[in-house]
Structure 1
Amino acid sequence: MSGHYDVDAVRKEFPAAERITYLDSGFQTPLALPVKAAIDRFLREGLETAGPKNVWLDRVEAIRAKVAQFLGASADEIAFTKNTSESMNIAANALPLRAGDKVLMLHGDHPNNAYAFLNLQRRGVTVEFVPMTAIVNAETIRPHIDANTRAISMSLVTFHAGHRFDVESIGALCREKNLYFIVDVMQAIGVVPIDAKAMGATVIGSGSHKGLLVPQGLGLLYWDKARTELKPAYLAAASLAEIPSDLIARPDKLKLAASARRFELGNFNLPAIQALGASLDMINAIGVQNIQNHCFDLGDHLIGQLDMLDIRLVGPRERRYRAPHIYVIALPAAEWLGHFEENNIRVSPERDGIRVSFGMFNTFADVDRLIDVIRRRGVKPSHRAA
């Protein structure tokens, strides 16, 4: 039983959680009933009225404001994208980097973050990979900064072992050194509280199909609007300060929007954005801090049970260095994934084992069932742990 919110009531909003032991929200969160209702409303409106587009677009702006509040930003600093990868590519190409400039990244971070910046090598930009250790903060990054360093790009939470890095200290370092700071929050958003201003980020990118509960196909981008030198690599009418009323392109009127709309390319993923409005209402009603604390409690319980079985946790154990919801168990995925599938437990194979990732609906009973399935395959409590 959680002491942070009524998990049983929340769980009823996720029908999949009653049919399967779902421990894979780091891959994709099951659909929640309020999110489905928002999509159904959109589809019903399209079916019955052929689409009240102005109503839909008004909702987009209302949800943009919700996203901004959720991230501690203003609405004109939020753009809607397709996914995290697109947000990272928008950021990489918007930075005014030149040949000889260097970007620092973490070795082993998400590949689609890395590829966005590695693609700049064609312009002579250098990417240096900093070793990923259990602790990454300003002091571990500082020695890698030299006169050519212009930007740092990294994840807040890693997908493969649940590291959580001290992005606020790194953001402060970037301000000190006048560096751009790009942060991928995909594995954190919706579970870990995020304050874009406290983070000191230039750009934050994310998708929405994990902690934000929305089906795939919608991304978010935060842009520090003080950084007006960041300009989009692509241009559409929607990107301009003044969209021509007759929709005739004029080469002499290319002034960019003063808002993050400069990074948008036109038609939105309307059903997903309206689903996001419903999911943010759910998350805000519970409180993201409460979700984080509940997932930490689940993680503590999981770690304690693994210790009893003398099974190693791949990632960090201490709360201050670990994500609340992502844990990789040192069990070979090739040997164990099928066993979990046969027992109706959904997890993911990861680099060094089996990844367990919690959502707001998971309970201690889910953890106990996972441990029981491990134990029934022949893993016994260790004498050392006992």
Structure 2
Amino acid sequence: MNVSDKFAAARAQFPVTKRLLYLDSAHQTPLSTNVKAALEEFLSEGHEMGGPKPVWLRRAEETRERVAKFFNAAPAEIAFTKNTSEGLNIAANAVPLEAGDNVVLIEGDHPNNAYAWLNLKRKGVEVRFAKLKDDEIATAGTVAPYIDKHTKVVTLSHVTFHAGQVHDIGGIGKLCKDKGIYLVVDAMQSVGVIPLDVKALNISALAAGTHKGLLVPQGLGILYVAEGLDELQPTFLAMSSMARPPADYIARPEDLEVRKDAARFEFGNVNLPDLQALSSAIDLIESVGVPDIQKHVVALGGRLIKHLDELSVRLVGPREHGHRSHIYVLALPVSKWADFFARNLVRVSPERGGIRVSFGMFNTFDDVDRLAEIIRKGLKEDTLVAIEQVD
């Protein structure tokens, strides 16, 4: 099957494309047919068989192995969480930080990453924000001026939610490795869309949810913690965290040693339905391949930028090929355009710089051309209203 046929087959898995012009994958991706089927299978097993939990747990471990391959990680380096924010908070509280240490972030990056570290100010940890414009990407040069001998962590998104920059994680990772600094990455907007090699990028910890590029409903997150970072310790403990969980279910106060793998950061039951769905989602993603998904969404973005130039609509984020991915923010006033797009059955998101358009593996060049025509119509209507107001 050639690449175009693979994308056509993938699009057929998303019936929403027959009802809406869905351009909102940076918010959440719609449910695919095979993911829906996996969730229904889970519910049927619980309904008809009383819940075969050993089977579900085995499948969860199989999914852990498949997830690890997305990052070039080992299964033992993967823990399951609720969402990106929980993973980032786990990382922030696991890193051994003391009063006087500092953490470097990017100003304007996702607030849930910032709050995870700002919460440590009560312990005397300083949080520094590196400046960055919406059309720039973060590089080692961006964060280097904010680093000193007390810097213990650099943390940022791989792809920003608000302007779509694809930051130079490789360059920043090398800087962090050379200086002995932890690199913590929010991969919410990149996983499943951009190939990620945590080893090559020198990432210490990575957090992501699964409801965007990984195509699974909200409620499941992934936390990668590099092997050997045993000094990163969990704030919360449960039997699942322990190196030797008591077989008789009686806690031993004298034995509080935690596991060496990333599962030390899991506590209690994991989201078994979503994990079963995630395995099916990975089937769909792998039927196309993440490298081809990246090429596809970047090509869609190139087509969009061409249309925007013809329409004299400004792009808020980066234009350069290697600096962008699937997220494009159009400098259109939200107060006017959010309702206009909704009336025309276009699903997009309001964003701080305007209207955010974000592509998924199921979008096509025809989708981009349709969007351009709808924008053209809106600009014409806006002009007519302005003329009427002047008259």
Please, what TM-score do these two structures have when normalized by structure 2? Answer: 0.95
**Structure 1 match to 2:342:** 341
The structural deviation recorded for 1:135 is 2.7
**Structure 2 match to 1:164:** 166
Could you say what secondary structure the match of 1:164 adopts?
Answer: coil
Distance in 1, matches of 2:12 and 2:345, equals 19
Asked if structure 1 preserves the Cα contact closer than 8 Å seen for 2:3 and 2:288, the reply is: no
The structural deviation recorded for 1:123 is 0.5
Q: State the one-letter code of the partner of 1:64.
A: R
The structural deviation recorded for 1:9 is 1.7
Distance in 1, matches of 2:276 and 2:27, equals 21
Residues 1:250 and 2:244 aligned together: no
Within the candidate set 259, 267, 270, 1:268 is matched to: 270
The structural deviation recorded for 1:37 is 1.0
1:1-386 matches, within 5 Å, as 6-133=6-133, 134-322=136-324, 324-379=325-380
Distance in 1, matches of 2:22 and 2:188, equals 19
Could you say what secondary structure the match of 2:257 adopts?
Answer: coil
Asked if structure 2 preserves the Cα contact closer than 8 Å seen for 1:238 and 1:261, the reply is: yes
Question: C-alpha offsets along residues 265-284 of structure 1, whole Å, 9 cap, x if unaligned?
Answer: 01011100111111111111
Could you say what secondary structure the match of 2:235 adopts?
Answer: coil
Q: What count of residue pairs does the alignment treat as equivalent?
A: 378
Question: C-alpha offsets along residues 279-304 of structure 1, whole Å, 9 cap, x if unaligned?
Answer: 11111121000001010110000000
Relative distance call for 1:4 and 1:200 in structure 2 (3 A) is farther
Distance in 2, matches of 1:9 and 1:277, equals 18
Q: State the one-letter code of the partner of 1:124.
A: G
Q: State the one-letter code of the partner of 2:132.
A: M
Q: State the one-letter code of the partner of 1:195.
A: D
Query: Structure 2, unaligned stretches of length 5 or more?
Result: 382-391
Q: State the one-letter code of the partner of 1:224.
A: A
Distance in 2, matches of 1:221 and 1:336, equals 37
Q: State the one-letter code of the partner of 1:69.
A: K
Distance in 1, matches of 2:111 and 2:6, equals 37
Distance in 2, matches of 1:33 and 1:109, equals 33
The structural deviation recorded for 1:192 is 0.6
Asked if structure 2 preserves the Cα contact closer than 8 Å seen for 1:309 and 1:379, the reply is: no
Distance in 2, matches of 1:244 and 1:211, equals 38
Relative distance call for 1:5 and 1:318 in structure 2 (3 A) is farther
Question: C-alpha offsets along residues 152-174 of structure 1, whole Å, 9 cap, x if unaligned?
Answer: 01000000010110001111111
Relative distance call for 1:165 and 1:5 in structure 2 (3 A) is farther
The structural deviation recorded for 1:229 is 0.3
Q: State the one-letter code of the partner of 1:225.
A: E
Asked if structure 2 preserves the Cα contact closer than 8 Å seen for 1:5 and 1:286, the reply is: no
Asked if structure 2 preserves the Cα contact closer than 8 Å seen for 1:4 and 1:293, the reply is: no
**Structure 2 match to 1:384:** none
The structural deviation recorded for 1:4 is 5.2
Could you say what secondary structure the match of 1:34 adopts?
Answer: helix
Asked if structure 1 preserves the Cα contact closer than 8 Å seen for 2:6 and 2:287, the reply is: no
The sequence identity of aligned pairs, in percent, is 53
Asked if structure 1 preserves the Cα contact closer than 8 Å seen for 2:39 and 2:274, the reply is: yes
156-165 or 130-139: which moved more? 130-139
Q: State the one-letter code of the partner of 2:352.
A: R
Q: State the one-letter code of the partner of 1:328.
A: V
Could you say what secondary structure the match of 1:54 adopts?
Answer: helix
**Structure 1 match to 2:384:** none
Asked if structure 2 preserves the Cα contact closer than 8 Å seen for 1:78 and 1:222, the reply is: yes
Asked if structure 2 preserves the Cα contact closer than 8 Å seen for 1:102 and 1:149, the reply is: yes
Distance in 2, matches of 1:130 and 1:321, equals 18
The structural deviation recorded for 1:365 is 1.1
Question: C-alpha offsets along residues 136-192 of structure 1, whole Å, 9 cap, x if unaligned?
Answer: 111222121111111101000000010110001111111100001100000111101
Distance in 2, matches of 1:294 and 1:178, equals 36
Distance in 1, matches of 2:98 and 2:225, equals 20
Distance in 2, matches of 1:379 and 1:138, equals 44
The structural deviation recorded for 1:3 is 5.4
The structural deviation recorded for 1:250 is 0.4
Q: State the one-letter code of the partner of 1:337.
A: A
Distance in 2, matches of 1:202 and 1:45, equals 38
Could you say what secondary structure the match of 1:121 adopts?
Answer: helix
The structural deviation recorded for 1:379 is 4.4
Relative distance call for 1:57 and 1:274 in structure 2 (3 A) is same
Could you say what secondary structure the match of 2:199 adopts?
Answer: helix
Asked if structure 2 preserves the Cα contact closer than 8 Å seen for 1:28 and 1:209, the reply is: yes
Query: Structure 1, unaligned stretches of length 5 or more?
Result: 381-386
Distance in 2, matches of 1:129 and 1:10, equals 40
Question: C-alpha offsets along residues 290-319 of structure 1, whole Å, 9 cap, x if unaligned?
Answer: 001010110000000000011110000011
Distance in 2, matches of 1:290 and 1:7, equals 9
Q: What's the RMSD between the two structures over aligned residues?
A: 1.2
Distance in 1, matches of 2:263 and 2:205, equals 14
Distance in 2, matches of 1:269 and 1:81, equals 8
The structural deviation recorded for 1:6 is 3.0
**Structure 2 match to 1:383:** none
Question: C-alpha offsets along residues 190-209 of structure 1, whole Å, 9 cap, x if unaligned?
Answer: 10111111111110000000
Distance in 2, matches of 1:271 and 1:291, equals 26
Relative distance call for 1:327 and 1:262 in structure 2 (3 A) is same
Q: State the one-letter code of the partner of 2:322.
A: R
Q: State the one-letter code of the partner of 2:328.
A: Y
